[in-house]
Amino acid sequence: MQPNILFLMTDQMQGRVLDPEHPCITPNFDKLAARGVRVRNAYTTNAVCSPARASLMTGLLPHSHGVLTVTHCVHDDQCNLRTEHPHFAQRLSDAGYRTGYFGKWHVERSNDLNRFGWQVADTNPKARAKQNAETEFSLEKHIEGPEGYRTSILYGVNDRSPEDRMCGLTTSAASEFLSDALSGDDPWCCFASVIEPHDPFVCGEEAFSLYSVDDIELQPNVSDDLAGRPGLYRKAARIFAHLTDREKKEAAACYYAMVTEIDQQFGKLIDQVEAAGQLENTIIILTSDHGELLGSHGIYMKNVTGYEEVYNIPMVAAGPGIAKGQVTDGRVGLHDVAPTLTELAEAEALENEDSRSFVSLLRNPEEEAANFTQGYAEYYGTRYWFTQRVIWNGDWKLCWNGFDFDELYNLREDPFEMNNRIDDTDCQETVRTLMKQAWDIVKRTDDHSLGRSEYPVLRLAPFGPAVE
């Protein structure tokens, strides 16, 4: 019997908010994790929306699917999705699934989701919002400067309920699809994609009231002076340097409250499936396109650094054939989700050199974790173009930076990435190993740009493509 699939997607949600000791209030996500497997070391393939989401759909790295940055940041003839590659929803549709997609798309420009296997789609649920509704803020903080830039809101609390914002509107649209699908005989895949907790961090009064701002503990790296790190990081941090510790705590409280609102809304969808008696035959996936710095290293949002707050994403899977109540340190990428879903759905496989299914990890997390220790992500900048690759292997992480010197961190000893060890003489074999791993991926996936970078002035890697 083919399982149903409920896919719960957030935007810019840190993976660590699901840690048991984290202050973020997520009872429904905790309950979901208790029923399934939480992949603690899941990572995004790219630090911004469109490339990451295109990787999720296709199982490809950005250089393979063609979407290198957020689509609205470039001209219409740039960063277009290569449509000759199938999407996982096409495979599901071909296998007899009813498919529905609701909320933020941001994969490519056409917004014609039928082309990619989604039979029912609503990517503009905000049309359901109350028109001309007055919004009052009880708390708000704006970012100003340098001279010539407009003022923009960083965080705030207002009187609008989540049901009247994109989070609730998306959930409502997905719920309508579920009401119909749950009464039928065909397997279904329902994808709910909210824009929260993307900045600006604006939440409702009710969720914000669950948090004591004074009691929130700031991350140990919020006052990082970024010494020994690329100059670009320090440049990006300047705009946030004026924030007080109190304001940083308020920003965190608003962000956590947004996650709590998502938890509440997604919990309604899970409850709807359970009320219909189909929970045991439904695979539920929770993840995000990328994370959020939230003041770590003195920076907010994403875009610039290769830090874990940006690249580590939530990943929880529960349902038939998946272990229960397990947490794994296995490392999987967002692009690995597509082949995983087609295997779980018994649909035609998505075969390429970029990704692999992690069904074995979900079925046997303890034994299989040793087979999932490596990771690789690509970043091309947004609006400001630059090249960065992030490579993981066990405890080690290398940021291969084409715009400045590189970074090497031991995530077990230095989880907040404060000590760049790229120049440590006793770490050079580790750098060599990570660079060999990176060059192998470049060659295997036919990354033209880096694969042809032996021009003398462009030899910016610590070890070249023939390293052994």
Look at residues 373, 402, 426 and tell me which one is the last residue of a structural domain.
373
* CATH label of the domain that carries residue 444: 3.30.1120.10
Across the range 148-166, mean pLDDT stands at 95
**Together in a domain, 324 and 367:** yes
* CATH label of the domain that carries residue 320: 3.40.720.10
**Together in a domain, 274 and 318:** yes
Look at residues 373, 392, 415 and tell me which one is the last residue of a structural domain.
373
Beta bridge partners of 384: 382
Q: Is residue 450 part of a domain?
A: yes
Q: Is residue 206 part of a domain?
A: yes
Q: Is residue 463 part of a domain?
A: yes
Percentage of the chain exceeding pLDDT 70: 98
Q: Is residue 28 part of a domain?
A: yes
Q: Is residue 152 part of a domain?
A: no
Q: Into how many domains does the chain fold?
A: 2
Q: What is the pLDDT of residues 361-389, one digit of tens each?
A: 999 999 999 999 999 999 999 999 999 99
pTM, two decimals, is 0.97
Average pLDDT of the chain, as a whole number: 96
Q: What is the pLDDT of residues 275-288, one digit of tens each?
A: 999 999 999 999 99
Q: Is residue 361 part of a domain?
A: yes
Q: Could you list the residue range(s) of the whole structural domain that residue 40 is in?
A: 4-129+161-373
Residue 134 pLDDT > 90: no
d(Cα 303, Cα 191) in Å, to the nearest integer?
26
Q: Is residue 308 part of a domain?
A: yes
Q: What is the pLDDT of residues 269-320, one digit of tens each?
A: 999 999 999 999 999 999 999 999 999 999 999 999 999 999 999 999 999 9
**Together in a domain, 224 and 301:** yes
Q: Is residue 149 part of a domain?
A: no
Question: What is the structure's pLDDT at 398?
Answer: 98
**Together in a domain, 293 and 440:** no
Across the range 15-44, mean pLDDT stands at 98
**Together in a domain, 312 and 440:** no
Counting other chains too, the contacts that 353-357 makes at CB distance below 8 Å and 24 or more residues apart are 353/444, 353/445, 353/446, 354/59, 354/60, 354/61, 354/64, 354/445, 355/59, 355/60, 355/61
- Dihedral sign, Cα of residue 218, residue 223, residue 229, residue 230: positive
Q: What DSSP string describes 291-317?
A: ---TTGGG--SSSS---HHHHB--EEE
**Together in a domain, 391 and 342:** no
Question: What is the structure's pLDDT at 135?
Answer: 87
Residue 132 pLDDT > 60: no
Per-residue confidence at 129, pLDDT binned at 50, 70, 90?
low
Look at residues 341, 373, 405 and tell me which one is the last residue of a structural domain.
373
**Together in a domain, 100 and 182:** yes
